[in-house]
Structure 1
Amino acid sequence: MTVNPSWVLRSHPTAMPTPDNWTLEDRAIPDAVDGELLVKTMWLSVDPYMRGRISPAKNYAAGIPLGGLMKGGGIGEVIASNSPDFKPGDVVISDYFGWQPFSTIPAGSAKIVDTVSAPAQAALSYLGMPGLTAYFSLLKTGAPKEGETVLISAASGAVGQIAGQIARIRGLDPVAIAGTDTKVAWCKELGYRAGINHRTSTDLVGDVAAACPNGVDVFLDNTAGPLHDAAMLNLNTFGRVVIVGTIALADKFDKPDIGMRHLRQTLITRARIQGFLLDDFEEDYTNAAADLLSWHQQGLLKTREDIAEGIEAVPGAFVRMLKGENFGKQLVKL
């Protein structure tokens, strides 16, 4: 390959992104300078946080300028190394992959992927950001006690499918909210006690109450929007709400989050509402990953992948993930 088809940001979306927000350009394969690696992309990950990267609004993740190369998490094979820590043939993971077949990444951002204990792409799924997010958002930020009811939105997604199983493993009572009957059924296979199809529900507050007869102790909020409101109106005294993601707002990202105000409810329940960012737990990644791998090897943790193929498929895979059309962790295989 002598050219490197690369997705660059063409426009900032004002509603739900479409593939037309990007342009595929033929670029030269870059050269790695000192401290960089040239990698051949094997897998790309598309994740909800990337919605913030294509907005001009201030966000916790660095934005992509118009005309800039779209970037995100990926796994690839080192082709050339200008770092003593890596050699050609190493398989590495980094958050600095471009949406392109060949990327240069900072060596300091790269880590060797263990391809013996699990398939390489597991490092982008249950052994990577989604698995670690599920682990820490539930067990650390949510701080559940044995037997408590844990309500999880986007329960069949990359984070939710893992969080529900961790809840089951730790003796909690997990309840799923997902977008299709098939996804709800999958969640029950994973060990969720009950599930709600929010797209067919005509009374989310009542359906959450029915599925959680003892109330909600911990709500892992991966979506925001009406699902958040339904959980808040079923929250127990001293309940905990963990704001993991706001994917339900992807089509109005730069607009105010208009909905119910829950100040009185929060006052009455003395609830704790806390935002979650994975980076806050970096010093504990190794122990958490060891738990996740052990559970998977014991057959206690199952995951589902939704795989698109080819560099041309990346924007479409990203958009379908934002719309909830994926089933499991959304990946792109190159």
Structure 2
Amino acid sequence: MSNSTFPTEFLLLPFADTRKLQLLHFGLFLGIYLAALLGNGLILTAVACNHRLHTPMYFFLFNLSLIDLGTITTTVPKAMANSLWDTRTISYAGCATQLFMFAVFLTAEIYLLAIMAYDRYVAICKPLHYRTIMDSRTCVNMAAAVWGSTFFYAVVHTANTFTLPLCQGNALDQFFCEIPQILKLSCSDAYLREVGLLMLSVLIAFGCFVFLVVSYVQIFRAVLRIPSEQGQHKAFSTCLPHLAVVSLFISTAFFAYLKPPFTSSSSLNLLLAVLYSVVPPAVNPLIYSMRNKDLKEAVWKLLTKKYDCSSPSISVSTCFM
């Protein structure tokens, strides 16, 4: 690389050095990617086409599926291409775009999971006021706030990160472009400004996590007071999948960004990155459909073509409540 402080390309961390392992990685990621496309695509189509699912819970699940598709599409195709063609490079513009899109989807998922927890809290703890609190306008405003704030967040972080002079080489210790890895290449004290913004972001994410915990404490207290076992089972069937998704995503993401420097290694970075950026988009559709009878029925009807999404009676404007 030249001595320029703005390299023309970056080198991503490879999953393997031998050709057989590279092809194995390509095949594995291809299978995961196709599973994510299929699972999230089915959820998106089922929710859009089935009027029984036009409720706040499924509206937010629809948005979560969009986020999951965006997250895995941002990182996995480039990693597969690099393994298939035995290369490590990504252009400067490509790296900036990847970082921006990943920041959008990662942050949006944290916020949306918190909103989904609030939705379940209102539904179970305040059922008589649910329709009033979670009306269609409120749901749309919440979703718009998530997408708008995360877009602004990503613009600020991407601009801050890619205006820093980089003189520590161009090799990233990750299989995709993310902010901490690029900051390691900086040779200016200006990177402290971006570190400060990252710490603020971590505090906001931690606030969302605390909100999630408090919400579920209240939810489980209310569920355990339900006299009928059928009522408890129905409440748990809508809450446990969300709690599983939250636990998988937040625990790995927090550990990846907050782990002590001395525990950092290339293998650990790869494993954690896969756990919070690749695995959740692929398994979320399975988690949400396992215990959700309405969603399973909607997907089954979709697969057996028992309703037609092209029907003029179904319109986007009437979706979700």
TM-score tier by shorter-chain length is under 0.3
| Structure showing greater Rg | 2
Length-normalised TM-score, structure 2: 0.27
Higher relative contact order (CA 8 A, sep 6+): 2
Length-normalised TM-score, structure 1: 0.26
If each structure's strand is expressed as a fraction of its own residues, which one has the higher value?
1
If each structure's helix is expressed as a fraction of its own residues, which one has the higher value?
2
